[in-house]
Amino acid sequence: MRVIVVGAGVVGTMHAWQAVERGHQVVQIEREAEARGASLRNFGQIWVSGRAGGEELDTALRARELWEELGGRVPALGFRANGSLTPVRNDLELAVAQAALARDDAAARGYKLLTADEAREFNPALRGEFAAALYCERDAAVEPRTAQLALREELLKSPGYTFLPGREVREVIGSNAVRDDHGDVHTGDVVVLCTGAWLGGLVREVAGEIPVRRVRLQMMQTDPLGEPLTTSVADADSFRYYPAYRSDALDALGAGQEQTPTAASYKMQLLMVQRADGGLTIGDTHEYEHPFAFDTLEDPYEHLTEVVESFLGRPLPKIRRRWAGVYAQCTDTSRVVHRQQVRDGVWLVTGPGGRGMTCSPAIAETTANSLGW
C-alpha cells in the first residue's frame, strides 16, 4: 500500500512507523520544518498510573510495551523505565492512594504504597517532608524534544519512506489524495490526517465541528539538578485530574482539602521528570477557554517551585526556559482518541489530549489494524 500521513507530531510519526514496519510505502507531510506542537512541549512521560480503567488503560499498557520495544531499537529515544512516585502528606491524600491500591487493575499498573523512607530508597533526591508515596512501576519516560527526530532518522533508513517538510496540506481531493501549498498532489491507498491541535482550516472543511477541544498548559525546565531524580514525581493534586483516582476518598479530599487558590485557579497539578541532561521538566496548568493568552503567567511557576522544593528539601536549580503548549483533547474525555473517516480512504486521528505521548504507539497500531494494513 501507499500511505499518506499528514502531520509529523508523535501521533503522525507513529502512524508512519506502523505503516513502514508493515512493509508499505509512506509519504509523511509536515507544514513546519519539524513538528513544533505538543509532541515536543510535553513531559515525555509514558504515564500509565492515572489512566481510566478499561480501554484507556489497555491502550496505555500496550503503548508502554511498544515504547520499550522502540527504545531498544532506537536508543536515542531516551526510553527509561523509571516509574513514578506521588508523595502524600496527610490522611486524606493517603486514603486516595489506598483506594487506588484497591482497584482491580492496581497490579497491572504496578501500584505499591511506600513509606516515606521506602520512597527515598527509590528516589534519594526526595529529601523533603511527606508521609508516604504511591509508586507506579509501569510509568516510564522518553525525551520529547528529540524523540520524533530519532524516530524519523530511523524511518529515513527505509527506501519506502519519504518525508516532506515545509508543506501545508490545503485540500483533500476526492478520495485517497491531498494537495499541498506547493500545488503538488499526493495520492495513496489511504490518507491519515494527524493534525494535532490544528482543528481549523482543512480539518473543519473535511470533518466539520468535531468533539475535540484545545487545551493550553504552561511548563518549565531547570538547569541540571546535580543528582539523579530516579523516578517521575507527581503531587496529590494530580489525583484530582486522573480518572484512576476517582473514589469516595477523592470526594472526601475535595471536601476536606481545598487546593491553594493558585492551583485551583489554573487547574494545576505537579508533574516532574528529569531530562537526559539532568534538568527537570516541571508543570503544569490547564486552560480551556478560548482565546488563549499569548503570554505565560508567573503565579503558576511560583506555586510549582514551592511544591517541588518542598519535596526535594532544597532550592530548585535555575529555571532555564518556560513555555506554553496547546494540545487537542476529546471533549468526551473517556475516549482515547477521535478517529473518524472523513472521506473514502481518508481518516482523521486527533484529540488524545494529555495521553498523546503515552498512547500514540498503540493508537497508531489500532488504526493500522482497523484499516487492514
In the β-sheet with 169-172, what is the strand arrangement from edge to edge? 169-172, 177-180, 185-187
pTM of the full predicted structure? 0.96
- Phi, then psi, of 371 in degrees rounded to 5: -95, 5
- What whole-number distance in Å separates Cα of residue 294 and Cα of residue 13? 28
- What whole-number distance in Å separates Cα of residue 195 and Cα of residue 78? 25
pLDDT per position as a tens digit, 298-347: 999 999 999 999 999 999 999 999 999 999 999 998 899 999 999 999 99
3 state DSSP class of 9: coil
3 state DSSP class of 184: coil
Instruction: Identify the DSSP state of 297.
Output: -
Q: Which domains does the chain have, with CATH numbers?
A: 1-81+140-211+336-373 (3.50.50.60), 84-137+212-330 (3.30.9.10)
The answer to whether the CB of 241 falls within 8 A of the CB of 354 is: no
3 state DSSP class of 95: helix
pLDDT per position as a tens digit, 164-207: 999 999 999 988 999 999 999 999 999 999 999 999 999 999 99
Q: What integer best gives the mean pLDDT of the chain? A: 96
pLDDT at 160 over 90: yes
pLDDT at 293 over 90: no
Instruction: Identify the DSSP state of 201.
Output: T
Instruction: Identify the DSSP state of 287.
Output: B
- What whole-number distance in Å separates Cα of residue 170 and Cα of residue 192? 14
3 state DSSP class of 143: coil
- What whole-number distance in Å separates Cα of residue 174 and Cα of residue 242? 41
Question: Quick one: pLDDT at residue 333?
Answer: 83
- Continuous segment of H or E residues that includes residue 250: helix 248-256
pLDDT over 90 percentage in the chain: 94
